[in-house]
Amino acid sequence: MVIGASYSSNKSNLRPTGLRRPALLLLGLLSTAVLVAEHGFGVSSAWERWIHVAELLLAGGYVADRVLMLARGPDRWSVLRRRQFEFGVLGLFLLLATAWVVSLAAGAGKLPTEVRGLLSEDAWGLGLNLLRLFLLGNVLVQLLRLQQRLLVRGMRPEWMLAGSFALLIVAGTLLLLMPRVSAIPEKPIGVLDAVFTATSASCVTGLTVRDTGTEFTAFGQGILLVLFQVGGMGIMTFVAFLAVTSAESLPVSDMLVFRQVVGARTPAVLGRQLWAIIGFTAVVETAGAVCLYSCLPPEQELMSKLGWSVFHSVSAYCNAGFSFSADSLAAFQSHPGAMLTFMVLIVLGGLGFLVAMDLLGLRVSRLPLIRDIPWVRRYNRQTPVYRIPVQTRLSVLMTGILLVAGLVAFWVLEARHILADKPLSTQFWISAFHSVSPRSSGFSTVPVGDLHPATLLLLTALMAVGACPVSAGGGIKVITLAILILALRSLVTGRERVEAFGRALPPKVLLTALAVAGLFMVLAGLGVFGMTLFDPQVPLESQVFEVVSALSTTGLSTGITAQLSQGSQVVLCLLMFIGRVGPLSLVLSVVQLERSARYQYPEEDLLVA
């Protein structure tokens, strides 16, 4: 990867060699319209035939684009590399189509009934399904290419970040307004409900005004799954992955933006880290789905178990908090396997990609006790020392402290209340889970509205702290809390600089932490003020809890979300959006930064206590 590539060379890499951009744009718009009309609104049998013909023609257009790419390109291998995702979608479609034909020839009638139902009732039906997936895959790649072109043209990263989430919310709202999304035909999803649900899913919050399991069809639940999967990882992560893997080189400006998006410490590791993020996410979510599948009753229907497991695994890892049950995960409060799986998924998603990659790079031979073994000690002397970055150390340390403190505090506060009539093991799992979940996931195993007021205050504090930077979680982040504690320690001990693990932190880090914490408190106060204007009858503690839950993108609720007025729901939507984008990033996207001053004023001391 060449870091210092020129702008013009990158621009040539983005220039298509197939169909012209207007033709591709028209192809994408028509494909989107056909898919939305067929699956979102339903069509008569007369129109259905014409739509199938249109799908075939549109698929032929994308195939023609690939053929023209190879025919016009001076170097076919270079074209394949630069457009590997477009050719990947085509190759996957051809592979699946070939597999289906082979299965038919081998006697696919012997397949299980559930699998046949998943694929299609006949070969023609499956062919249409594969065709629709092919069109959808191409549309998604086109959208990512569009984001990449906007970035190349010099749009500020903060605008791109806020704009990508705004576009995702708008797209999700339009999709959720389709008639086939609602499982209750006589109760279609209204505009505000669609906006609120799309915002909650895109910002991986989990606050709901409609029951996900009963009021959404499988198609609607699939839309929510895509929204919080993309929202959890961030659209810009996919754009960066597309750009880095499709170009021989990138300009320095793009490299710096993508490095900021994914938190890469150096430009040289950007590509490797993007591959690690995508791969790590796929492995963790797949493993989580397998574990959750094994926790379900064996007599349950195969496809129902599979859909539930995948949905909840992605929801937990992305810290989204969406569940098919109105009482969240109450049915699993005494199931150790399910509770442990959910907690691991939530913690991994909340730690963030940076911390996860650093922990994966830690050698087992360096761990306490193990490193004291004689032959391990000799091995360590012969290998270079891997030093864990300060950010990872602080993240893991603060996460561990908060988890243990939250578990003990929840258990003590609810021992004679909501946990009083439950077995000791169940009390432990409920307490442990509600030490993990408030950090940004939004799942619950007990009615949150029935908890003791002191427990609600504890959960509010945990929600405000949130997860780690560059993760799916929100809040002020554990690193911000750690920096503020370290700054207090430096003040008490008389040190002039903030220090941690033998390193001094730059003054800018402390100023950023103070700004994030201050903005969070200001926004939370404004949110509570707005809710008191629109819903003065709601108790103040419930308002504070709901506002902090929305701003920290946690999703826990005392049960008042669906009963709130439209004004309060709009306030919560704004808070969820700001919480996901980040208060500081949103401010930077609005305020035009000035050049740093080349002078310094004389210092003057102030009394602050």
User: pLDDT tens-digit profile of 99-142?
Assistant: 767 666 555 455 555 554 444 445 566 667 778 888 888 888 88
Length of the chain counted residue by residue: 609
> Is residue 502 in some structural domain?
no
Give pLDDT, residue 120: 43
> Is residue 598 in some structural domain?
no
Confidence of residue 440 (pLDDT cuts 50, 70, 90): confident
Selected residue with higher pLDDT from 495 and 342: 342
- The amino acid present at 13, given as its one-letter code, is N
Confidence of residue 457 (pLDDT cuts 50, 70, 90): very high
Average pLDDT score over residue span 90-100? 78
Helix axes 21-36, 45-72, angle to 10 degrees: 150
Average pLDDT score over residue span 144-155? 69
**Measured in Å, how far apart are the chain's first and last C-alpha atoms?**
53
Average pLDDT score over residue span 524-541? 94
Q: Is the predicted pLDDT of residue 164 greater than 90, yes or no?
A: no
Give pLDDT, residue 376: 65
CB atoms within 10 A of CB 27: 22
Look at 222-226, 248-252, 285-289, 310-314 and tell me which has the smallest mean pLDDT: 248-252
Among 469, 494, 470, 495, smallest CA distance to 480 is for 469
Q: Is the predicted pLDDT of residue 428 greater than 50, yes or no?
A: yes
> Is residue 37 in some structural domain?
yes
Q: Rounded to whole angstroms, how far apart are CA atoms 471 and 352?
A: 4
> Is residue 468 in some structural domain?
no
Selected residue with higher pLDDT from 38 and 475: 475
Q: Rounded to whole angstroms, how far apart are CA atoms 268 and 264?
A: 9
Selected residue with higher pLDDT from 117 and 92: 92
Among 337, 336, 335, smallest CA distance to 290 is for 337
Give pLDDT, residue 12: 41
Look at 22-36, 79-93, 184-198 and tell me which has the smallest mean pLDDT: 79-93
Average pLDDT score over residue span 463-478? 87
Q: Are 183 and 218 a contacting pair, CB within 8 Å?
A: no
Give pLDDT, residue 199: 94
Give pLDDT, residue 494: 84
Q: Rounded to whole angstroms, how far apart are CA atoms 396 and 377?
A: 25
pLDDT tens-place string over residues 385-421: 667 788 888 999 999 999 999 999 999 999 989 998 8
Confidence of residue 29 (pLDDT cuts 50, 70, 90): confident
Selected residue with higher pLDDT from 30 and 129: 30
DSSP state of 268: G
CB atoms within 10 A of CB 540: 11
Q: Can you say whether the dihedral through the CA atoms of 383, 389, 392, 393 is positive or negative? A: positive
Look at 24-28, 49-53, 111-115, 566-570 and tell me which has the smallest mean pLDDT: 111-115
Average pLDDT score over residue span 443-469? 92
Which residues make Cβ contacts (< 8 Å) with residue 376, sequence separation at least 6?
365, 370
Number of domains forming the structure of the chain: 1
Confidence of residue 3 (pLDDT cuts 50, 70, 90): very low
Q: Is the predicted pLDDT of residue 592 greater than 90, yes or no?
A: no
Secondary structure of residue 74 in the 3-state scheme: coil
Give pLDDT, residue 544: 95
Q: Is the predicted pLDDT of residue 46 greater than 80, yes or no?
A: no
> Is residue 66 in some structural domain?
yes
The residue ranges of DSSP E strands in 477-578, in sequence order, are 499-500, 503-504
The model carries a pTM of 0.81
Return the top range by mean pLDDT from 94-108, 125-139, 489-503, 587-601: 489-503
Give pLDDT, residue 414: 92
Task: Phi first, then psi: give them for residue 443, nearest 5 degrees.
Answer: -75, 155
CB atoms within 10 A of CB 432: 19
Look at 85-89, 363-367, 515-519 and tell me which has the smallest mean pLDDT: 363-367
Q: Is the predicted pLDDT of residue 595 greater than 50, yes or no?
A: yes
Q: Which domain holds residue 37?
A: 1-153
> Is residue 553 in some structural domain?
no
Q: Is the predicted pLDDT of residue 279 greater than 70, yes or no?
A: yes
> Is residue 100 in some structural domain?
yes
Give CA separation, 370 vs 239, 363, 365, 367, 387, in Å: 42, 11, 6, 6, 17
Which residues make Cβ contacts (< 8 Å) with residue 527, sequence separation at least 6?
547, 550, 551, 571, 572, 575
| Average confidence score pLDDT of the chain | 81
> Is residue 474 in some structural domain?
no
Confidence of residue 2 (pLDDT cuts 50, 70, 90): very low
DSSP state of 122: S
Give pLDDT, residue 165: 87
Give pLDDT, residue 445: 92
Give pLDDT, residue 154: 59
Return the top range by mean pLDDT from 37-51, 364-378, 473-487: 473-487
Average pLDDT score over residue span 499-524? 89
Selected residue with higher pLDDT from 234 and 335: 335
Give pLDDT, residue 373: 74
Q: Rounded to whole angstroms, how far apart are CA atoms 58 and 30?
A: 8
Selected residue with higher pLDDT from 104 and 487: 487
Q: Rounded to whole angstroms, how far apart are CA atoms 395 and 346?
A: 15
How much of the chain is in helix, strand and coil states, percent to nearest 5? 70, 0, 30
Q: Is the predicted pLDDT of residue 248 greater than 60, yes or no?
A: no
Among 220, 210, 140, smallest CA distance to 176 is for 220
pLDDT tens-place string over residues 577-590: 999 888 766 666 55
